[in-house]
Structure 1
Amino acid sequence: MTDIDIWIVIAALWLATFIARSGFWLAGNRIQLPQRVQEALRYAPACALAAIILPDFLMYPSGADQWDFSWHNPKLVAGIAATLFFQLRKNMLHTIIFGMVVFTCLRLFS
């Protein structure tokens, strides 16, 4: 690919993203989503976050395309520990700090 091809692709992707994301904003209140769709969209951020984070927890630490469900996976152990901590404390900032401390300790001492 030449430089101009790369810039054309970047511009096309920018335009497609802009159109897709600004559709509801430009329509304003003229379009009303059904109540059931609005309720379902409340869970979209959590689902997207889970789709990004969960595979990272389960991938083999060396980067191979394998799943690692063992206790030797520091990301998985730290994620489980942080989940349990959140269930007890219900504080997101403390959970993030706790999870990172557990992950760092597991990486340093294993």
Structure 2
Amino acid sequence: MEWAMLLGMMAVTFGIRYLPFALADRLRLNPWVERALSYAPMAVLSAIIAPAVLAPKGELWLDWRNPYLIAAAAAIVVAALTRNLLATIAAGMGLFALWRFWL
């Protein structure tokens, strides 16, 4: 009985996730909908990253002693100057580690 339930849940989950990809080339959206959907990845990443950087302990922490905030600011500057993903990650993670060790 459990196997049948697991297979049914698998089929439903796969169907829900696969159908939009399978039909994507046949479906045409309005240009304004496509333009609006192009901002979805940035919005999702901002919604994940902003609370972790600005309130890592559950409260707003806008202070120079916040290693998350300092590392994120440095990563933004490096990304804007170099446009290099590896340099951005290295600068952010390196400064975060130094800031945590220093404080």
Verify same fold: TM over 0.5.
yes
Are 1:30 and 2:26 matched, yes or no? yes
| Normalised TM-score (structure 2) | 0.79
Alignment gaps of 5+ in structure 1: none
Query: 1:108 & 1:72 partners in 2: Cα distance?
Result: 12
Larger relative CO (CA 8 A, sep 6+): 1 or 2? 2
Compute the displacement of 1:29 (Å): 3.1
Q: Residue 47 of structure 2 aligns with which residue?
A: 51
1:103 aligns with 2:99: no
Structure 1 counterpart of 2:70: 77
C-alpha deviations, 1:1-55, integer Å up to 9, x for none? xxx8xxx7xx86x666544433322324332111111111112111111110110
Distance 2:69 2:55 in 1: 9
Q: Deviations over 1:72-106 (max 9, x none)?
A: 10000110011011111111111001110000000
Please list every run of at least 4 consecutive aligned residues from structure 1 whose deviation after the TM superposition is greater than 4 angstroms.
14-17
CA gap 1:25/1:75 in 2 versus in 1, 3 angstroms: same
What TM-score, normalized by structure 1, do the two folds share?
0.75
Identity %: 34
Q: Flag the 1:17–1:51 CA change in 2: closer, same or farther, 3 A.
A: farther
2:82 pairs with one of 75, 79, 89 = 89
Q: How does 1:3-42 map to 2 (within 5 A)?
A: 17-42=13-38
Unaligned runs of 5+ in 2: none
| Structure 1 residues 101 and 28: CA distance shift in structure 2, 3 A | closer
For residue 76 of structure 2, what is the amino acid of its counterpart?
T
